[in-house]
Amino acid sequence: MRRMVMMAVIACLALPMKAQNQGPVRMLNEKQKENTEYIPVFQYWKEHNIFQHMDLSVTLGSTGIGFDVASPIGDYVQLRAGYEFMPHFDATMKFNLTIGGQPARQYDEHGDRVYSTFDKMKEFLYQFTGYDVEDHVDMVGTPTMNNFKLLVDVFPFKTNKHWHFTAGFYLGPTQIARAENSTEAMVSLLSVGMYNNMYEKALNDEPLFDLSAISGTEGISFDYQTQEIIYEKLRSFGRLGFAMGNFKHDVVDNNGVMHHAGEPYIVEPGEDGMVRVKAKANAFKPYLGFGYGGRLIKNRDDWKVSFDLGAMFWGGTPDLIVHDGINLTKDVENINGQVGDYVDLFNAFKVFPVLNVRFTKTLF
């Protein structure tokens, strides 16, 4: 029985091989009026120049560094797929501290630094923490954009294959950049958090220390007269943070209005003592552009160079979201300093400009 099954399988495998050796298979059409010659798929592709060549390219430009592979899907159309990523580099910007709504660093009419409320608070806070608080915090911004791309190049001129028009899309993570405080700024940020904790207790008339939570302090009372002197000093200083402009509109949550339009936006460190900002755009980004290419090496058609210019539609103005949930591009206005310059830059680019150079080697 097993021998019979094996012979049947061998016979079935032999039938298509025999038919292939006998040349093209002829078959009746649906109306059985005429014979139609069957054309194999690969033969059809060869006759119409579909996937008959492959190019490997290295790209460099505004979208980063990457590579792609390309193959024709006709005499005037090319399909291109690849990956690009933005190399990591750091851009430093300063967040200036404010206290009580006033800049930490102040000057007189002659441009000389004056003894300010921040300086008083700094001396006061040093007695509690043993650390000096800087009047600014350095933020380090890093691009994180990386994308898969699928593009279609169309060569519209029959006698001139140098020009091409391109349409397609980029697909990648929604986060395109991030910024967070430098390591050197951690001491100042932790001190800011400690100070604001004491300031909050002063506003709410809460005890500076809960002695009942400390073992071995039974029967010990705290000098609340001294505490009130400290609280008066804290309330006169005001809250410590980073002034980032004013709210464009009311900001609400499930409990109602958190911030009213026109109020100053003061950034404070998060629960982990850090300040973070994330830049986000759409994951799916359509692309339209055009380009020009030609030989890279004289008399060598297998080496080419081309330039592409276009626009990546990343969904309008990107979001710049602070760790407390506030969106700098949509919720805040009148942002000054280096941070304001970066926010203005993101606001200016509703689409991402693409300018790339591509070096290509034809593999076959």
pLDDT digits (tens, 9 = 90+) for 114-172: 998 999 888 888 887 788 888 888 889 999 999 999 999 999 987 777 899 999 999 99
Residue 269: C-alpha distances to residues 149, 257, 274, 293, 327 (Å)? 38, 21, 5, 51, 16
Q: How many CB atoms lie within 10 A of CB 343?
A: 20
Determine the Cα–Cα distance for residues 92 and 135; give it in Å rounded to an integer: 16
Tokens 């980029």 sit on residue: 170
Check residue 67 and give its pLDDT.
96
| Pairing between β-strand 251-253 and β-strand 240-247 as defined by DSSP bridges | unpaired
Contact status, residue 242 vs residue 96, Cβ threshold 8 Å: yes
Determine the Cα–Cα distance for residues 315 and 298; give it in Å rounded to an integer: 42
What confidence tens digit (pLDDT) does each residue in 226-250 have?
778 888 888 988 888 888 889 999 9
Check residue 170 and give its pLDDT.
98
Check residue 11 and give its pLDDT.
45
Give CA angle at 175 (173, 179), nearest 5°: 150
Give CA angle at 227 (222, 230), nearest 5°: 155
Check residue 167 and give its pLDDT.
97
Tokens 């804290």 sit on residue: 234
The helix/strand/coil state of 105 is coil
Burial 139-148 (b: 16+ CB within 10 A, else e): bebebebbbe
Check residue 6 and give its pLDDT.
47
DSSP 86: P
Contact status, residue 96 vs residue 337, Cβ threshold 8 Å: yes
- The reported pTM is 0.77
- Residues of the chain short of pLDDT 70, as ranges, are 1-39, 41-42, 44-49, 210-223
The helix/strand/coil state of 181 is strand
Check residue 64 and give its pLDDT.
95
